[in-house]
Amino acid sequence: MSILNDEDFENGRYKISLDPEQETDLNDTIQTVEDEILPQLFGVELYDLFIADLVAGVPQSARFVTIFEPFNDQTNGCITQSQGMKVMLKGYTYYDYVRDTNGAVTTNGTKNTISENSTDMNGIQYDLTSRYNDGVRNYKAIQTYMASIDPDTYPEYDGTPQPFNHIF
């Protein structure tokens, strides 16, 4: 069960222009990202409980809805903000998909196309790192909420940290 689908990338900051053949590739990337990131976010036991709670890609119990939706919390003078789990997953998915589809794979290796009227952009130009770091910021906020702000609600939490990506 996926939280995201290709329609989540039709507009806004995470827009990815697709032809019909690429929709399958994007949906495969979405599934791969969710299968990798969510167990790391929660830890295996809490991840299994979260997945069991999903109906049509949306959690049903209050404890999962709280961290799935955007939130702002101020505890002990620290503000923790999350744009929600969908934005977190969009950041990681955008990064993986656009990074991996930057060139065409041929029998002679991966090639970039050359056109008379255009040039290819590199990762810095289409802001891959920023989109990835959006995912990490939300990931860290959700983990902070589960581990420090409301640990009694998430006793099964055993997630792993995610580092930010740097262009240098």
Is position 121 within any domain? yes
Residue 128 tokens, joined:
């891959």
Is position 159 within any domain? no
Residue 140 tokens, joined:
């860290």
State the pTM of this model.
Answer: 0.84
Q: What residues does 155 pair with on adjacent strands?
A: none
Is position 156 within any domain? no
CB–CB of 84/68 below 8 Å?
yes
Is position 163 within any domain? no
pLDDT tens per residue across all 168 residues of the chain: 699 998 999 999 999 888 777 778 899 999 999 999 999 999 999 999 999 999 999 999 999 999 999 999 999 899 999 999 999 999 999 999 988 876 544 444 344 555 555 444 444 445 788 999 999 999 999 999 999 999 999 999 999 998 887 654
How many structural domains does the chain have?
Answer: 1
CB–CB of 121/167 below 8 Å?
no
DSSP 8-class letter at 80:
E
3-state secondary structure of 150: coil
Domain housing 40: 6-149
Instruction: Name every residue whose Cβ is closer than 8 Å to that of residue 77 and which is 6 or more positions away in sequence.
Output: none
